[in-house]
């Protein structure tokens, strides 16, 4: 299911750099989510098993995160 449309590839890449860097330094998924909240992002798990990065507080979907970040 693709829920993200009209997303600028450059902006998505910039956001993914932040998300990936924060995942590398976080000791747990919980800490990672807390760190992302400091940047104004949250992760929502979908019924389809995807992890969607959203903005806070309006919950605008930005991109689907790769499963490798959750291993």
Q: Is residue 2 part of a domain?
A: no
Q: How many domains would you assign to the chain?
A: 1
Q: Is residue 4 part of a domain?
A: no
Span 4-54, pLDDT tens digits: 555 677 888 899 999 999 999 999 999 999 999 999 999 999 999 999 999
Q: Is residue 30 part of a domain?
A: yes
Q: What is the phi/psi pair of residue 65, to 5°? A: -85, 145
Q: Is residue 29 part of a domain?
A: yes
Q: Is residue 41 part of a domain?
A: yes
| Of 61 and 9, the one with more pLDDT | 61
Range of the domain at 57: 9-70
Q: Is residue 35 part of a domain?
A: yes
Asked whether the beta carbons of 54 and 41 are under 8 A apart, the reply is yes
Residue with tokens 């806070």: 56
pLDDT at residue number 6: 54
Q: Is residue 52 part of a domain?
A: yes
- Closest C-alpha among 35, 14, 10 to residue 24: 35
Q: What is the phi/psi pair of residue 45, to 5°? A: -90, 130
pTM: 0.83
């Amino acid at each position: 299911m693709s829920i993200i449309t009209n997303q600028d590839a450059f902006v998505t890449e910039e956001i993914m750099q932040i998300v990936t860097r924060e995942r590398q330094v976080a000791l747990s998924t919980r800490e990672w989510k807390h760190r992302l909240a400091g940047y104004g992002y949250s992760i929502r798990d979908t019924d389809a098993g995807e992890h969607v990065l959203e903005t806070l507080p309006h919950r605008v979907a930005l991109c689907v995160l790769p499963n490798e970040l959750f291993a």
